Structure formats: C-alpha cells, structure tokens
Amino acid sequence: MLSAFLEKQAVITYRDNSAGINIFGVDPPDENKVMHLKPDIVEGNHEELSGSGKGILIGDDPMSGYR
C-alpha cells in the first residue's frame, strides 16, 4: 500500500539555534493505513488531524537510535 506525500526542506530557528528539518504533507487517513501512526500520537488524536486540514504532527527521526 502507498500513501502520497509532499516533501520540503526548511530551516527552523530559535534564538541562536538553527536546524534543518524535513516537512511532509500527507493525507492523514491514507498515511495511517501505511504507517499506523494512531497508537503513537501522544497528545491530541488522529481525527483532529484529519478533520480540519490544518493539523500538524511533530515527530523525530525514527532511525536516530540506529546511528
């Protein structure tokens, strides 16, 4: 199964700290079918992401523990 997405790179800055980030635009219902994210959402819920079209999900690099 596949889920379509858009990807962009950006820089986020807070005070004197900057970091490169990847931004992915996805369709929450389709993405959940592939990645099964619902159980991993800590605050809020999947339905809020799907309903408004303006939701945001912030996560970290799942491979960071393997480097």
Q: Which sequence spans correspond to the domains of the chain?
A: 5-56
More confident residue, 52 or 5: 5
User: What confidence tens digit (pLDDT) does each residue in 27-44 have?
Assistant: 888 888 888 888 888 888
Q: How far apart are CA 35 and CA 6, in angstroms?
A: 16
pLDDT tops 70 at residue 66:
no
pLDDT tops 90 at residue 4:
no
Element spanning 21, H or E: strand 17-26
Bridge partners (DSSP) of residue 18 are 13
